[in-house]
Structure 1
């Protein structure tokens, strides 16, 4: 046997129908030309795939830029109005977007970094913009009221009567679950305007410096939100009901307690903001007697009725009930 035919470190060419004897094609032979043509075809196919993907990328980038420009023009026209303007009831039409429950199921998160998540985010924002079309639309404000607050049953009666965008939700502190609260928020938003999301939220509950007494046996602190999965999931799922088209960060007010009374309150708010990303949100918990607190109260309540309710909050007298 010729030792040059089988040298160590080299493997024979693959056996194919056109090369049954595993011979190495030599330059100038018929097999050499065939192999060269096959290689050129493979290179040409790879180049076409790369070009197609690049053109597709350019189309996607261009469409997102056009969407951003269109939204900026529409926002300047549609949202330059008073928040206290009334919102007429809009009848359902066959062109309205799908239910908000379907939107929540398909919501993507940008922090995972996937291209599909970017597309889902853009699609949901476009659907929210369609739901909020019209100069008569006023972004909704959700008010969560814990039954643990003294005289909490009267709170829905003292909200601003000239602002129908305020949606009060009184929940049972003793028996309600996080799922119950989220389902009620979804139902109220759908009834307000199908596909709409809230821009402002007031959480009226008991608590203190560095903690929120949200539900029975569920005290939100920095450490517990970090360790307890159901509590962290609640804030993540709550963010799905926040607006994607709000040009400013969505705002959540905390009332009934002063969470920022110590550094742990600042850490708690920062933790909640991180959980609710990529949605943009700010937390505020001003003292009611401060100028910022008065501004917060007037955003949601009839200030005169609120002061009357406050004076009767811990009283057994019936003057307030008779007044109503």
Structure 2
């Protein structure tokens, strides 16, 4: 009986069985690759709730992770201009942002030297809000054949503008020190005339002009845009149709003004249009994007399909 079982197990499988086994192995390998990719992409600004006493938190306040809440001085509660968020907007990053020791041409030359070489591909930053349904799967559907697509998934509820800017700086430095953004995709919720960037931070023409922290975000973001790009640097808006009313065009014009003297243009094409398809193919595997889109609002989302 043992011999018979052994003989049966050693029989050569038919072609169909071999092909099926090969396909299953390929799927498992694909799943492993995708899972490893997701595992290493942390969500920017996410907060892990831990049971800490006040003394523990106070003791660790000066050695905290950058994603921990920023302590606020008691006397600053009386003056909104001294709030932690506004202070952070003029914090460590602004030390470099406000440094005018290098003029435009010198900075441009530094960028040009940093990006020399035939192997250099200008980076394309992809900023993804966790508010987008099934946002956690988006990094799995980007173009695998284009290493210049750099996804950044951020926590809509807890991330700050500082968190986002710091992560952009880290990603650019990792990609190639000294390089800047040529193309950028902001994938977030919104609608005609507005962008829902962060919790309680809706970018409209009026609010961008009135709220200092929001206007500072766009000014500081401009410092990451390229000076050597012969064309205007491009920022795509996806996940909402901002140009659905005249206020959308006003918003884009206001953002362009805030980002001067850097040359930046904004586009928010409809996904079903020819321009929208071109935008999608610039950042995503089009087949996987369509699959993700059809199941974006489904509760029966099958992760294995995104391979």
TM-score bracket, shorter-length normalisation? 0.5 to 0.7
CA distance in 1 between partners of 2:207 and 2:233 (Å): 24
1:224 and 2:207 are equivalent in the alignment: yes
Given that residues 107 and 120 in structure 1 are in contact (C-alpha distance below 8 angstroms), is that contact kept between their aligned partners in structure 2? no
Query: What residue number does 1:130 align with?
Result: 113
Residues 1:129 and 1:104: Cα distance change in structure 2 (over 3 Å): farther
1:264 and 2:250 are equivalent in the alignment: no
Consecutive unaligned residues of structure 1, counting only runs of 5 or more, are 1-100, 109-115
Query: What residue number does 1:240 align with?
Result: 223
Q: Mean Cα displacement is larger for which, 284-293 or 312-321?
A: 312-321
TM-score w.r.t. length of structure 2: 0.68
Alignment of structure 1 residues 293-308 onto 2, 5 Å: 293-308=276-291
1:157 and 2:154 are equivalent in the alignment: no
Structure with the greater alpha carbon radius of gyration: 1
Query: What residue number does 2:194 align with?
Result: 211
Residues 1:281 and 1:220: Cα distance change in structure 2 (over 3 Å): same
CA distance in 2 between partners of 1:210 and 1:303 (Å): 27
> How far is the alpha carbon of 1:317 from its aligned partner?
1.2
Query: What residue number does 2:155 align with?
Result: 172
CA distance in 1 between partners of 2:248 and 2:98 (Å): 33
Corresponding residue pairs, total: 215
Corresponding residue SS for 1:297? helix
1:275 and 2:221 are equivalent in the alignment: no
* Superposed structure 1 runs of 4+ greater than 2 Å apart: 101-108, 318-324
Given that residues 97 and 223 in structure 2 are in contact (C-alpha distance below 8 angstroms), is that contact kept between their aligned partners in structure 1? no
CA distance in 2 between partners of 1:122 and 1:103 (Å): 20
> Whose RCO is larger (CA < 8 A, sep 6+)?
2
CA distance in 2 between partners of 1:155 and 1:321 (Å): 14
CA distance in 2 between partners of 1:323 and 1:168 (Å): 17
Q: Deviations over 1:91-140 (max 9, x none)?
A: xxxxxxxxxx79944654xxxxxxx7xx6111110100010000110000
Given that residues 198 and 242 in structure 1 are in contact (C-alpha distance below 8 angstroms), is that contact kept between their aligned partners in structure 2? yes
Corresponding residue SS for 2:184? strand
Query: What residue number does 2:79 align with?
Result: none
Given that residues 292 and 306 in structure 2 are in contact (C-alpha distance below 8 angstroms), is that contact kept between their aligned partners in structure 1? no
Alignment of structure 1 residues 106-145 onto 2, 5 Å: 108=100, 120-145=103-128
1:147 and 2:130 are equivalent in the alignment: yes
Residues 1:283 and 1:258: Cα distance change in structure 2 (over 3 Å): same
> How far is the alpha carbon of 1:320 from its aligned partner?
3.7
Q: Deviations over 1:265-293 (max 9, x none)?
A: 00000000000000000000000000000
CA distance in 1 between partners of 2:181 and 2:117 (Å): 17
TM-score w.r.t. length of structure 1: 0.64
Q: Deviations over 1:29-69 (max 9, x none)?
A: xxxxxxxxxxxxxxxxxxxxxxxxxxxxxxxxxxxxxxxxx
Given that residues 139 and 197 in structure 1 are in contact (C-alpha distance below 8 angstroms), is that contact kept between their aligned partners in structure 2? yes
